[in-house]
Structure 1
Amino acid sequence: MKFIRVSLIVIFLMSLLSCYANTQVESNNNTIYKPSNETKIAYFASGCFWCVEAIFESVKGVEEAVSGYAGGFTKNPTYQTIGTGKTGHSETVAVYYNPKVVSFATLVDVFFGSHDPTTKNGQHPDYGTQYRSIAFYSNDAEKKIIENKIAKLNKEIYNNKIVTEVTKHTKFYKAEEYHQDFEKRNPNQGYVKAVSIPRLNRFKAKFPELLKEEEKY
């Protein structure tokens, strides 16, 4: 019985930390960052978008990262509806970047180097189809870059265990405003302290050469 009580307590605490456990949902606002003429956009999903957004925003050449939803089959998804796992969407980040400073291939390296691509439908401690790993492409050249990276990693590291979806990008829905820059604005929030910041710091330690100057300290 003692073991059962302890297990229940652990499960309860993890649920409180979950990226999905949050305050009320605001209305979906599709006002998105306004890029320059040279800016390109890449889309990646690899678990809680609070974490993913912060990671990409630390990379040189990335002008902005916007949290949202993509990869689904319903219109106008919200945080509440994607949490049911029935909309098909994954928490996704739109990465606005200057290709003269950072390449799409490098962003793919950041994507695979900052999460576990062998975990199906989740990144600890968040699980469900809305947290699955997806690398989106907008053209054949990007698709080839992603597929070549997967082949290389499967051969050298993951022994053909990568479950990342390679998906044609169609529609991105910006998430509710309170999700944007959530980690930066809420450094003392429980999930951010326990999961987001440690994940960001692991990425920084792994790829110091890719960081913006202000992110190195």
Structure 2
Amino acid sequence: MKKLITLLFLALVFSCHNQAQTNPKQDAIKNAKPVTVKLENGKAKAYFASGCFWCVEAVYESVKGVDEVINGYAGGHTKNPTYEKSNTGKTGHAEAVEVIYDPKVVSFKTLVDVYFASQNPLQVNGQGPDKGSQYRSILFYQDQTQKQIIDTKKAALAKQLNAKIAAEVYPFQKFWIAEDYHQNYEKLHPENRYIQGVSIPRLKKFQAKMPEVLKEKH
């Protein structure tokens, strides 16, 4: 009986997660016209979701040409998402990062390479121990040029691995900044068990793959 109850609970949880990604409001987000974010002081912004934003923040902040990375939420159909609400899987949002970068130093194309090099591209609805639609992988494009870059690299990786790539491709709509305590998390909490056990190993694995794009110090 306990096993049956557990299975029913898990089915309900995954049903909620799946519903968040397949309802009409979410479909409207996927099919919307992309929003282009203008340059500010010569700096561009790019948006990615790839599991826990603490991990992704640390990865992109180690890349040359990246000035700052902000943690937040994107890809959903609700307004003003919070950590608690997004964790239900019902808002459609995923934990995401805003990457503020100098396009004269690092290209969007390279940022996409960093994205795929810093994750398990085959894991659906999560990265590592973090599972659920709020941790799913999404690349956001702001125009058709960015979409073509993403689609080309995703197709090439699928061919290379002979497998389906889990990352979704969304038109960018809006980025909601996460709570203050989520910002600069890896730098401010180096002794945290999750940072020690998950974020830092993921960062080091990426750094070994793409040493040519790294800042001298991180």
Length-normalised TM-score, structure 1:
0.81
1:211 to 185, 209, 214: 214
Task: Give the equivalent residue in structure 2 for 1:87.
Answer: 91
2:203 to 200, 203, 210: 200
Distance, in Å, in 1 between the alignment partners of 2:172 and 2:178 is 17
1:105 to 100, 109, 119: 109
Deviations 1:91-133, CA, capped at 9 Å, x for gaps: 0000001000000000000000000121110111000000000
Alpha-carbon shift at residue 160 of structure 1 (Å): 3.3
Distance, in Å, in 1 between the alignment partners of 2:132 and 2:147 is 25
Question: 1:102 is paired with a residue of what secondary structure?
Answer: coil
Return the letter of the residue paired with 2:110: T
1:86-165 alignment, distance < 5 Å: 86-156=90-160, 158-165=161-168
Return the letter of the residue paired with 1:166: V
Alpha-carbon shift at residue 144 of structure 1 (Å): 0.1
Alpha-carbon shift at residue 36 of structure 1 (Å): 4.1
Return the letter of the residue paired with 1:178: Y
Alpha-carbon shift at residue 205 of structure 1 (Å): 1.1
Task: Give the equivalent residue in structure 1 for 2:25.
Answer: none
Return the letter of the residue paired with 1:58: S
Return the letter of the residue paired with 1:123: Q
2:54 to 36, 41, 50: 50
Task: Give the equivalent residue in structure 1 for 2:190.
Answer: 187
Distance, in Å, in 1 between the alignment partners of 2:136 and 2:188 is 25
Question: 1:149 is paired with a residue of what secondary structure?
Answer: helix
Distance, in Å, in 1 between the alignment partners of 2:98 and 2:198 is 21
Query: How many residues are paired up?
Result: 180
Question: 1:77 is paired with a residue of what secondary structure?
Answer: coil
Unaligned runs of 5+ in 2: 1-38
Question: 2:57 is paired with a residue of what secondary structure?
Answer: helix
Deviations 1:143-184, CA, capped at 9 Å, x for gaps: 00000001111111x213102101000010000000000011
Q: Post-superposition, which runs of at least 4 consecutive aligned residues in structure 1 deviate over 3 A?
A: none
Return the letter of the residue paired with 2:129: P
Return the letter of the residue paired with 1:191: Y
